[in-house]
Amino acid sequence: MLLKSKFKLATAIGIVLSMLSLLVHLFLANYSAGGITNYSMHMDDVLPFGQRPRPRRLWGPLIPLDHLHPFAKPSKSYAAPSKHNGFIYAKIYGGFEKIQSSICDLVAVARLLNATLVIPEIQATTRAKGISPKFKSFSYLYDEDHFIHALSSDVVIVHGLPKDLREARKRIKFPTVSPRNSATPEYYIKEVLPRLVKSKVLGIIVNGGNCLQSILPSSLEEFQKLRCRVAFHALRLRPQIQALGSQIVGRLRASGRPYVAYHPGLLRDTLAFHGCAELFQDIHTELIQHRRNQMIKRGTVKEQLTVDSVARKMAGLCPLMPEEVGLLLQALGYPPTTIIFLAGSETFGGQRMLIPLRAMFANLVDRTSLCSQRELLDLVGPEDPLTPDLPQPPPPKSEKQLTEEWKRAGPRPRPLPPPPARPFYAHEKEGWYGWIGENDTEPDASLIEFRRQAHRLLWDALDYFVSVEADAFFPGFHNDGSGWPDYSNLVMGHRLYKTPSGITYRPDRKIIAALFEDVNDHRYHPPRNWTIAAREHLNRSASVEGIVSSAMLSRPVSFLAHPLPECSCRTPKSPGVQPVKDSNGRFLFGGEEECPDWMARSLATASARNNEPQNEDYEDELPEDGSRSDTQESDRTDSNKSSEQDEEMDPDD
Mean pLDDT, consecutive 10-residue stretches, the chain (653 aa), reads 65 79 67 44 44 72 86 77 85 93 94 93 81 86 95 92 82 87 93 93 90 89 92 95 96 93 94 92 86 90 91 94 96 95 91 93 95 93 74 76 82 70 57 58 76 92 97 93 86 94 94 93 91 95 91 89 90 72 80 80 62 41 39 37 41 43
Q: Are 257 and 230 members of one domain? A: no
Q: Is 116 inside a domain boundary? A: yes
Q: Are 140 and 258 members of one domain? A: no
Given a contact cutoff of 8 angstroms between Cβ atoms, the answer to whether 114 and 197 are in contact is no
Q: Rounded to the nearest 5°, which phi and psi values hold at 432?
A: -85, -15
pLDDT at 638: 40
What letter does residue 346 receive in the DSSP assignment?
-
Q: Are 232 and 336 members of one domain? A: no
pLDDT at 485: 86
Domain residues for the domain of 455 are 240-266+319-381+449-562
Given a contact cutoff of 8 angstroms between Cβ atoms, the answer to whether 646 and 337 are in contact is yes
**Of 147, 144, 164, nearest to 155 (Cα)?**
147
Can you say whether the dihedral through the CA atoms of 163, 167, 168, 170 is positive or negative? positive
Q: Is 245 inside a domain boundary? A: yes
Q: Are 546 and 472 members of one domain? A: yes
The residue among 562, 594, 627 that closes a domain is: 562
Q: Is 145 inside a domain boundary? A: yes
Which distant-in-sequence residues (6+ apart) come within 8 Å of 537 by Cβ? 507, 508, 511, 512, 515
Q: Is 478 inside a domain boundary? A: yes
Q: Is 1 inside a domain boundary? A: no
What letter does residue 234 receive in the DSSP assignment?
I
Q: Are 162 and 189 members of one domain? A: yes
Q: Are 164 and 207 members of one domain? A: yes
pLDDT at 320: 96
The residue among 562, 582, 614 that closes a domain is: 562
pLDDT at 472: 96
Q: Is 371 inside a domain boundary? A: yes
The residue among 562, 581, 600 that closes a domain is: 562
CA 142 to each of CA 398, 561, 580, 628: distance values in angstroms, whole numbers, following the listed order: 56, 20, 36, 52
Query: Would you list the DSSP string of 546-612?
Result: HHHHHHHHHTTT-GGGS-TTTTEEE-S--TTPPPEE-TTS-EEES-PEEPPHHHHHHHHHHHHHT--
User: For 469-527, where are the alpha helices, taking DSSP H only?
Assistant: 487-498, 509-518
Q: Are 132 and 255 members of one domain? A: no
Q: Residue 152 CA to chain centroid, in angstroms? A: 29
Q: Are 228 and 354 members of one domain? A: no
Q: Is 524 inside a domain boundary? A: yes
Can you say whether the dihedral through the CA atoms of 501, 507, 511, 514 is positive or negative? positive
**Orientation of helix 447-468 relative to helix 487-498, angle to 10°:** 30
pLDDT at 307: 93
Q: How many domains does the chain have?
A: 2
Q: Are 246 and 214 members of one domain? A: no
